[in-house]
Amino acid sequence: MDIPMPEMKKGINKLLNLLYKTISEYPYSPPQQKSYLCVLQENNRLMLDKLNELKPFIKEINRNLDSSEPKQEALDILEELERFMNYYVIKENLLFPVIEKHLPEFRCLSVMWSFHDDIKRNLKNAQSLLQQVPFKLKEFNRLTGDLFFNMNAIKFREERILYPLVADIIPEKVLNGLFKESVEIGFPFYIPEIKPSKTEKPDNVVGKVNLETGILSVEQIELLFNHLPVDITFVDEFGKVQYFSTPKKRIFPRTKAIIGRDVHNCHPKESVHVVEKIVEAFKAGRKDSASFWINMKGERLLIQYFAVRDASGTYKGVLEVSQEISEIQDLKGENRLLDWED
């Protein structure tokens, strides 16, 4: 119906407020202990504890506007609550995509995501107000009021509407498969112990390359590398050039003749010692990157070298990435809107 998101959220708030008692009394089975949904709910519970810790300090701020101590206490708790924003990042980037694959009608997730953004914004603004002079009490009360309402509302809607549905439609094995990446993003308050397990790669597809985080055809991989706004050259652990990308505009010329060539022979004698020093430091594990920036033919160039290591940390080569950065250096302020001309 193309209802604007602000109106959509207001309407949903009114509807769910009317249905609050009915939903609260609806038969509900909490998730099994140590399951993925249980870990999410435990983080929710600890978030609520933090919110409740905040209440007396907000009351004290309203009673004694000039006192700095309750403001500092409130600021400390808000900073702890900022860790909880990782919880929303986990939902948005791991749980929501899985739900979309299993649930035909998933558009409600975009509304919940918008509430996440409101919470993140209000949290940062409330922190900022506590550090401002003069202190804007009315605005602070409005922000924290919205914060309490939205965080409690999202918690209720997750645990009594979304998560029971998720438990019904998504296999537990699929949900538990989200643990590893969730821990990498960072659970905010309750972090489960996860037993190391063998990584299960997706099934192979004929004519495609399994990259663990996706399955692409050789053509797609080639297009992907060649559309990056950088030059890429890869040298393996034996010092042999194995690959270079071919974007529309290469900064440094490369030809297929260099494939298999010793990297030491690809640089002038005057500068080859720099390359040797970088490779030696990468191999020894003393360094992981090296950066240079130069002016050349009216352009500002950034040249970076990155050590390539496998999962066990074994050195596998060097990645050279070169980029023209004049336009990037000229950026000022922010641009959050698409500035294309029709």
Taking only the tens place, the pLDDT of each residue in 212-271 is 888 999 899 999 999 999 999 999 999 999 999 999 888 887 878 788 888 877 776 677
Share of the chain above pLDDT 70, in %: 96
- This model's pTM is above 0.75: no
The residue ranges of DSSP E strands in 104-159, in sequence order, are: none
Closest C-alpha among 286, 320, 307, 287 to residue 237: 307
What's the pLDDT band for 298 if we cut at 50, 70, 90?
A: confident
Contact (Cβ atoms closer than 8 angstroms) between residue 230 and residue 323: yes
Cα Rg, the chain, nearest whole Å: 26
Gap between the Cα atoms of 196 and 199, Å rounded? 9
Give the pLDDT confidence score for residue 253 in this predicted structure: 77
What's the confidence (pLDDT) of residue 54? 96
Q: 5-185: which CATH architecture?
A: Up-down Bundle (1.20)
* C-alpha dihedral (180, 181, 182, 183), degrees to nearest 10: 60
Distance from C-alpha of 32 to C-alpha of 41, rounded to nearest angstrom: 11
208-329: what fold? Beta-Lactamase (3.30.450)
Q: How is residue 60 written in tokens?
A: 């004290």
The answer to whether residues 302 and 326 touch, using CB atoms and an 8 Å cutoff, is no
Helix (H, G, I), strand (E, B) or coil at 229: coil
- The whole-number pLDDT of residue 245 equals 93
How far is the C-alpha of 165 from the C-alpha of 158, rounded, in Å? 9
- Residue intervals of the chain classified under CATH 3.30.450.20 are 208-329
Average pLDDT over residues 124-129: 96
Max CA distance (Å), the chain: 79
pLDDT of 196? 59
